[in-house]
Structure 1
Amino acid sequence: MKFNNVFVIDDDKVFHFIIKKLLASNNINVEPRFFENGLQALEGIKINLQKEEAPPDLILLDINMPILDGWEFLEEFKILKNRLQKEIAIYIISSSDNIVDRNRAKDFKDEIKDYFLKPITVDGLKSIFY
C-alpha cells in the first residue's frame, strides 16, 4: 500500500460513506480523514505542519463544495506545497464531466494525478491505491 494518511475533501456525506465501504470491502487499510470543504482541509494540512506531523499522502478532492471549492483549494495548495516535506498525490473525484472542468484540471497537472467521475468504480479506486 502506497498511502497511509488519506484526506477526503467532499461535502457529500453519502460519498464519505461509500468511500469507507469501498476501502473496507477492497481490503484497502487506510483511515481517511474527512473534510467538508477545501478550507477545512487546508487547515488540517497547516495544523500537521505546525505540529511537525506528516501531511496526507493522498487527497481525494471534489470540485463543487461550499466555502472553498476544489479549484480554490488547489490554488491555495500550490502556495502551501513548497513547505511540505513530501509530494501529496491528489485525485479529483467529481460528478462533473464538464469539459471546462476537465480542461481546468490540466492547469494543475503538477498537482493532480488523475480525474475520476462519481461514482468511482472499484477499478478506479484500485488504480489509485495499487
Structure 2
Amino acid sequence: MIGIIDDDKIFQFTLGRVINHNKQAERIITFSDGERAIQYLTDNKAINENIPDIIFLDVNMPIMDGWQFMEEYANIKTEIKKKVNIFMWSSSYNPIDIERASKICEISGYNIKPIKLEDVKRFFEKFETLL
C-alpha cells in the first residue's frame, strides 16, 4: 500500500495514476494534509495491512505541513509494527529544507517536484523492494 499526503490534487492524481498503471501497489490512500494522515495512522496502527509501506509526503500543506507531520509521526511510530518508508516530494529547492529532511531518520529521501513519469519509474525501480 502507498500513501500520498499532499494538498495538490493534480499531484495526487498523477502519482496515483502512474502507480496504478505500473501496478506498483494494490492500494493507494490519499490525504490533503498531515493531520488527516496522522489520524488515519493512529486509528490503524494495530492493523498492519492498513499501514502504507511507502508514504509520499509534501512539505507545504495547510492545517499540518510535512514537518509537523514528521513530528507527530515520531510520537506514534513505535506503536506501528511495520516499517514505513517516507519520501518527501516537494517543490522546494531550498537547501535548508533538503538539509532538514536529511537529518530526520524516518525520511528515506527528498525529491523535487514537478515529477515526470521517468522520475516515478526510476524511483520504483530503485525502491521496488520496499513494496
TM-score (norm 1): 0.86
String of CA shifts for 1:46-82, please: whole Å, max 9, x gaps. 1102xx3112211100000000000000011111111
SS in 1 for 2:36: helix
Choose the corresponding residue for 2:56, options 52, 56, 60: 60
Please state which structure has a larger fraction of its residues in helix. Answer: 2
Amino acid at match of 2:77: K
Report the Cα distance in structure 2 between the residues aligned to 1:46 and 1:35, rounded to whole angstroms: 14
Gapped runs of 5+ residues in structure 1? none
Deviation above 3 Å: which 4+ runs of structure 1?
121-124
String of CA shifts for 1:98-119, please: whole Å, max 9, x gaps. 11100111221x1011111112
Number of the residue aligned with 1:100: 96
Residues 85-96 of structure 1: pairs in structure 2 closer than 5 A: 85-96=81-92
Number of the residue aligned with 1:75: 71
Report how many aligned residue pairs link the two structures. 123
Tell me if the contact between 1:94 and 1:117 (Cα under 8 Å) persists in the aligned partners: yes
Q: Compute the displacement of 1:123 (Å).
A: 4.2
Percent sequence identity over matched residues?
37
